[in-house]
Amino acid sequence: MKVSIVGAYNTKFGSFVKRDRETGTVEDQKSFYELLIEAGAGAIADAGLEAKDIDAIWVGACSPSLFLNQEHVGPLALEIDPEGLLFKPTTRTEGACATSSLAIYNAAYAVASGRFKNVLALGVEKMSLLDTPGVTHALACCSYWPTEGAGGMTFPGLFAELGTAYQEKHNISDDQLRTMLAHVSALNYKNGIQNPLAHFGPGSLPDRNQLVTAEAILNLPDSGKGSNPMIAPPLRLHDCSLITDGAAAVVLTSSENAKVGFKHAVELSGVGHVTERMMLKERQGRLHELQATQHAVNLACTEAGVVVGDLDFAEVHDCFTINELLCAEAIGLSLPGQAGYDMMAGKFNPEGDCPINLSGGLKAKGHPVGATGASMHALAYKQLTGAPIGIAAKGSPEVAMTVNIGGSGVTNCVSVLRRIQ
Amino acid sequence: MKVSIVGAYNTKFGSFVKRDRETGTVEDQKSFYELLIEAGAGAIADAGLEAKDIDAIWVGACSPSLFLNQEHVGPLALEIDPEGLLFKPTTRTEGACATSSLAIYNAAYAVASGRFKNVLALGVEKMSLLDTPGVTHALACCSYWPTEGAGGMTFPGLFAELGTAYQEKHNISDDQLRTMLAHVSALNYKNGIQNPLAHFGPGSLPDRNQLVTAEAILNLPDSGKGSNPMIAPPLRLHDCSLITDGAAAVVLTSSENAKVGFKHAVELSGVGHVTERMMLKERQGRLHELQATQHAVNLACTEAGVVVGDLDFAEVHDCFTINELLCAEAIGLSLPGQAGYDMMAGKFNPEGDCPINLSGGLKAKGHPVGATGASMHALAYKQLTGAPIGIAAKGSPEVAMTVNIGGSGVTNCVSVLRRIQ
User: Best of A80, A87, A278 to disrupt the B interface by mutation (most B CBs within 10 Å)?
Assistant: A87
Predicted pLDDT at A208:
67
Among A31, A75, A407, beta carbon nearest to B72: A407
Active site residues of B: 97, 367
Predicted pLDDT at A297:
98
User: Best of A274, A275, A303, A415 to disrupt the B interface by mutation (most B CBs within 10 Å)?
Assistant: A275
Residue A310 has pLDDT above 70, yes or no: yes
* B273-327 pLDDT, tens digit each: 999 999 999 999 999 999 999 999 999 999 999 999 999 999 999 999 999 999 9
Which chain B residues are within 8 Å of A145, Cβ to Cβ? Answer: 68-70
Predicted pLDDT at B206:
66
Q: Quickly state the pLDDT bin for A252 (edges 50, 70, 90).
A: very high
**CA A181 from centroid of its chain's CA atoms:** 18
Q: Which residues of A188-215 are buried (b: 16+ CB within 10 A; e: fewer)?
A: bbbbbbbbebbbbbeeeeeebeebbbbe
| Yes or no, beta carbons of B92 and A90 under 8 Å apart | no
Tell me the shortest Cα–Cα distance from B405 to chain A, in angstroms.
Answer: 12
Tell me the shortest Cα–Cα distance from A94 to chain B, in angstroms.
Answer: 5
| Yes or no, beta carbons of B86 and A1 under 8 Å apart | no
CATH class belonging to B3-132+243-256: alpha beta
* E strands, B280-350, in order: 313-315
| Yes or no, beta carbons of A63 and B65 under 8 Å apart | yes
| Yes or no, beta carbons of A109 and B110 under 8 Å apart | yes
Least confident of A18-27, A159-168, A206-215, B27-36: A206-215
With contact defined as beta carbons under 8 Å apart, do B306 and B226 qualify? no
Which chain B residues are within 8 Å of A295, Cβ to Cβ? Answer: 87
Tell me the shortest Cα–Cα distance from B54 to chain A, in angstroms.
Answer: 13
* E strands, B226-375, in order: 230-232, 235-236, 245-254, 266-275, 313-315
| Yes or no, beta carbons of B95 and A96 under 8 Å apart | no
Question: B320: helix, coil or strand?
Answer: strand
Residue B371 has pLDDT above 70, yes or no: yes
Nearest chain B residue to A411 by CA distance is B75
| Yes or no, beta carbons of B66 and A66 under 8 Å apart | yes
**CA B6 from centroid of its chain's CA atoms:** 20
Nearest chain B residue to A76 by CA distance is B278
With contact defined as beta carbons under 8 Å apart, do B145 and A75 qualify? no
Mean pLDDT of A406-416: 98
Mean pLDDT of chain B: 97
Which chain B residues are within 8 Å of A411, Cβ to Cβ? Answer: 72, 74-75, 90
Return the sign of the alpha-carbon dihedral for residues B295, A75, B247, B200: negative
Nearest chain B residue to A65 by CA distance is B141
Residue A213 has pLDDT above 70, yes or no: yes
Nearest chain B residue to A94 by CA distance is B92
| Yes or no, beta carbons of A96 and B406 under 8 Å apart | no
Run of H or E including A120? strand A119-126
Mean pLDDT of B123-145: 96
User: Best of B30, B57, B88, B91 to disrupt the A interface by mutation (most A CBs within 10 Å)?
Assistant: B91
Among B87, B90, B278, beta carbon nearest to A75: B278
| Yes or no, beta carbons of B407 and A292 under 8 Å apart | no
Instruction: Give dist(CA B93, CA B74) in Å, integer.
Output: 9
Tell me the shortest Cα–Cα distance from B135 to chain A, in angstroms.
Answer: 13
Beta bridge partners of residue A7, listed in sequence order: A251
| Yes or no, beta carbons of A277 and B407 under 8 Å apart | no
Q: Quickly state the pLDDT bin for A206 (edges 50, 70, 90).
A: low
Q: Is the pTM of this model over 0.80?
A: yes
Among A109, A274, A275, beta carbon nearest to B113: A109
| Yes or no, beta carbons of A276 and B106 under 8 Å apart | no
* A12-36 pLDDT, tens digit each: 999 999 999 899 899 999 999 999 9
Predicted pLDDT at B21:
85
Question: What count of CB pairs under 8 Å joins A to B?
Answer: 202
Which chain A residues are within 8 Å of B141, Cβ to Cβ? Answer: 65, 69-72
User: In Å, how far are A180, A233, A261, A327, B167 from A223, measured between CA atoms?
Assistant: 21, 15, 57, 30, 67
Instruction: Give dist(CA B167, CA A16) in Å, integer.
Output: 45
* B56-115 pLDDT, tens digit each: 999 999 999 999 999 999 999 999 999 999 999 999 999 999 999 999 999 999 999 999
Nearest chain A residue to B141 by CA distance is A70
Tell me the shortest Cα–Cα distance from A421 to chain B, in angstroms.
Answer: 23
Write down the ipTM of this complex: 0.98
Using only C-alpha atoms, chain A has a radius of gyration, in whole angstroms, of 20
Tell me the shortest Cα–Cα distance from A25 to chain B, in angstroms.
Answer: 16
Nearest chain A residue to B83 by CA distance is A277
Nearest to B122 by CA among B206, B10, B255, B45: B10
* Number of Cβ atoms within 10 Å of the Cβ of A19: 14
Nearest chain B residue to A273 by CA distance is B89
Q: How many residues make up chain A in this entry?
A: 421
User: What percent of chain A has pLDDT above 70?
Assistant: 99
User: Best of B68, B109, B124, B142 to disrupt the A interface by mutation (most A CBs within 10 Å)?
Assistant: B109
User: What percent of chain B has pLDDT above 90?
Assistant: 96
Instruction: Give dist(CA B252, CA A29) in Å, integer.
Output: 45
Tell me the shortest Cα–Cα distance from A286 to chain B, in angstroms.
Answer: 14
Residue A203 has pLDDT above 90, yes or no: no
Among A92, A106, A113, beta carbon nearest to B94: A92
* B189-239 pLDDT, tens digit each: 999 999 999 999 998 876 666 899 999 999 999 999 889 999 999 999 999
Nearest chain A residue to B296 by CA distance is A87
| Yes or no, beta carbons of B75 and A278 under 8 Å apart | yes
Tell me the shortest Cα–Cα distance from B275 to chain A, in angstroms.
Answer: 4
Annotated active-site residue in A142, A367, A377, A413: A367
With contact defined as beta carbons under 8 Å apart, do A75 and B407 qualify? yes
* A151-171 pLDDT, tens digit each: 999 999 999 999 999 999 999
Instruction: Give dist(CA A81, CA A90) in Å, integer.
Output: 14
